[in-house]
Amino acid sequence: MNIEKRAWHGYRIWNFEFEGMPAVVVEPKKEANGKWLLKTEYFEAFPEFEFAMLEQGYYVAHVDNQSRWCLPTDTVRQAHFAHFLHNEFHFHEKCLPVGLSCGGMQAVYLAGMYPEVVAALYLDAPVLNFLSCPGRVGKSTFDYMHEFTAETGMTIETLINYRAHPIDYVPRLIAAKIPTMLVCGDSDVTVPYDENGKVLAEMFNQDENVPFLSILKSGCDHHPHGLENPAPLVEFAMTHY
């Protein structure tokens, strides 16, 4: 396997191909602890949490997807990627997926289908209900349905009776006791909180045995993702992974 190493924001990054898709790994500057984050989508977007975890000795990794709307093959590839990094580079067998927006959907699917490779989750304004986003049945004002249908083959009519929305996998996360962080804006008009993150929070709050951190940003829309000071997220992540 050909690995190209270069500088990236003051860190060393590996570029290579995995199962036909571009992949990257970012090395921490300090001694690595073998634990790692999987940025499921939008690799370079809002990286403050990743930078903070790199400073704690965690790796950051990503493999490209065929679609941001998470085709089944993308979830399988992410699981294979986790096994690959464990077997070839001795990374921890479990990762912490970081999912922003559509990446949150991908993280939930990965954890729900392959809990053996997930130690904890960070979800940020996650897409969890396709009728909400991209479907715009509720409060969402952004129209992504054409793109979603072109890439997944599903229509609004399909989604009415669909029973595999990301939110449908949340009971699996709770059953697997996967510690989860949720950050959302209460004024999100792209992925409305009431129709997505709030539903997940209510489900997690019913089980006190699963560590759960929820941060709701007052007056915040879909962007910016993350926190100006990611310390609460770092503390939770290091406590549970």
* Predicted pLDDT of residue 81: 98
Which among 100, 99, 61 has a CA at the least distance from the CA of 225? 100
* Predicted pLDDT of residue 142: 87
Query: For a pLDDT cut of 70, what percent of the chain falls above it?
Result: 100
* Predicted pLDDT of residue 136: 94
pTM: 0.97
* Predicted pLDDT of residue 60: 98
Give the pLDDT mean for 33-37: 97
Neighbours of 143 (CB within 10 A): 12
Q: For residue 53, what are its two tokens?
A: 């975890």
Residue 14 has pLDDT above 90, yes or no: yes
pLDDT tens across 128-140, in order? 999 999 999 999 9
Helix, strand or coil, per DSSP, at residue 165:
coil
d(CA 67, CA 91): 26
Angle between helices 72-89 and 102-113 in degrees, nearest 10: 70
pLDDT tens across 53-75, in order? 999 999 999 999 999 999 999 99
Phi, psi of 187 (to 5 degrees): -115, 30
* Predicted pLDDT of residue 1: 81
**Which residues face 22 on adjacent strands?**
17
pLDDT tens across 162-198, in order? 999 999 999 999 999 999 999 999 999 999 999 999 9
* Predicted pLDDT of residue 183: 98
Residue 235 has pLDDT above 90, yes or no: yes
Cα distance from N-terminal residue to C-terminal residue, the chain: 29
pLDDT tens across 70-118, in order? 999 999 999 999 999 999 999 999 999 999 999 999 999 999 999 999 9
* Predicted pLDDT of residue 61: 98
When the pLDDT of each residue in the chain is averaged and rounded to a whole number, the result is 97
CB neighbour class for 93 (10 Å; exposed up to 12, middle 13-18, buried from 19): middle
* Predicted pLDDT of residue 83: 98
Q: How many residues does the chain have?
A: 241
**Whole-number CA gyration radius for the chain:** 17
Chain centre distance of CA 125: 10
